Amino acid sequence: MFFSSLDLRPYAKQLRSSSPRGADGHSREGILRALIAAPLEGIDTFTALHHRLDKDLRFRYQCGLSIDRPAPSISTLSRVFAALTKKKLAEKIFLDLVQLAQEEGIIDGSHQAIDSAAIDAYEKKQPKKRSEQTGNANWGAKYDSFGNKITWFGYKMHLSVDTASELPMAIKVTPAHVNDGEVAPELIEQVAERTKSKIEFLIMDGGYDQLKNYESAKNIGAQAIIPLNLRNEKEPPEGISSNGTPRCSMGYEMTYWGADKDQLKFRCPHATGKVDCPLGMAACSSSNYGMVVKVDIKKDVRRYSNPHRDTKRWKELYNERTSVERCNSRMKSYLTANSLHVWGIEKVKSHIYLNAIVLLVSALAMAKENKGKKAA
């Protein structure tokens, strides 16, 4: 069922040797199938994959490899993986599957959640200065949900995930020391190019609270949903609370009353029954409607948001961020994204892409199976 929705022939052709010499090799399509099936089966080394292909004839047959000759050797599997990396075929397969999943209606793409996950390196640990020179694994640090500082030597896997299907649409692998906020604009640009539907919301945690991320979202016509990082917060403008809500002359936060495109509307809190102002409405406005203030989001795209910060709708959208956390968890806990046995950032990228391919192929296979059941 897994392989039924995956045609690897166009990619396998690019892995075949152009040399006319030598004995007939193993099917490159079969080896490519085995490399993709490995994360699904929890196989994280070429040695373990060779052993499985050697001992499990059914698995070897399902991968499309001949059962009347020895299984591909460890060195053969390693060479094919190296060729896969050199030609960037894992990324190409991933991008084609993202497009196919959109065509099949599995991925919507209008709501994207962005986050990163720590990946432990297979390389030998090095001092930070030496690691920065290689461009490969480096030392990273972050705080967990309890405020504890965690350090690791390795990489970061940055994902942009469709919140409806919880499937990845863009991936970026960096050394662990790279700041999340530096990578987000590139991910936003990537998903904007790949998404067939209009991106409405880009959802990120407080670590991405940087002006360039709000601007990148605005540039593609989307709204960034990011909580303000109060540790780096400066004093808000006079008459405005930290979350972007105007205050009336008595110092009360005004009541959010909807939006018209880039204009946020706020009303007198006494008129809306939110507070009992000792001066009533008369001190601010002669209208029975109460004083009205309109704010243009473009004045400060970081502070102002549509929907307005802290509203029920804003919180509902921010809760969709858990989709990227679950995607990270699946790739690290249930597949082999965090079980590296290759070194160098290019091979690590191929390893991560193969794990993401498993998620996409599984979703496509399940959709195909469900269609077949409905047709029957």
Distance in angstroms (rounded) separating the CA atoms of residues 1 and 362: 9
89 alpha-carbon distance from chain centroid? 20
Q: Rounded mean pLDDT of 10-20?
A: 75
Is pLDDT at 274 greater than 90 in this prediction?
no
- The contacts of residue 118 (CB under 8 Å, 6+ apart) are 140, 142, 150, 152, 154, 155, 156, 176, 338
With the CA atoms of 264, 268, 269 and 271 taken in that order, what torsion angle do they form, in degrees rounded to the nearest 10?
Answer: -130
67-81, 82-96, 270-284, 297-311 — which is least confidently predicted? 270-284
Output the pLDDT for position 338: 94
Q: Rounded mean pLDDT of 231-238?
A: 73
Output the pLDDT for position 58: 94
2-11, 96-105, 230-239, 345-354 — which is least confidently predicted? 230-239
**22: pLDDT confidence band, cut at 50, 70 and 90?**
very low
Token match 């403008």: residue?
A: 237
Distance in angstroms (rounded) separating the CA atoms of residues 192 and 216: 10
Q: Whole-prediction pTM value?
A: 0.90
Output the pLDDT for position 376: 64
Query: 276 in helix, strand or coil?
Result: coil
Output the pLDDT for position 23: 41
Output the pLDDT for position 269: 86
Domains of the chain: 8-87 (no CATH), 108-227+315-346 (3.30.420), 231-308 (no CATH)
Is pLDDT at 21 greater than 50 in this prediction?
no
For residue 362, the tally of other CB atoms under 10 A from its CB is: 16
Is pLDDT at 18 greater than 70 in this prediction?
no
**134: pLDDT confidence band, cut at 50, 70 and 90?**
confident
Alpha helices in the chain (DSSP H): 9-13, 28-40, 46-55, 57-62, 74-86, 89-103, 128-134, 180-194, 211-219, 312-319, 322-329, 345-375
**143: pLDDT confidence band, cut at 50, 70 and 90?**
confident
Q: What is the average pLDDT value for the chain, to the nearest integer?
A: 89
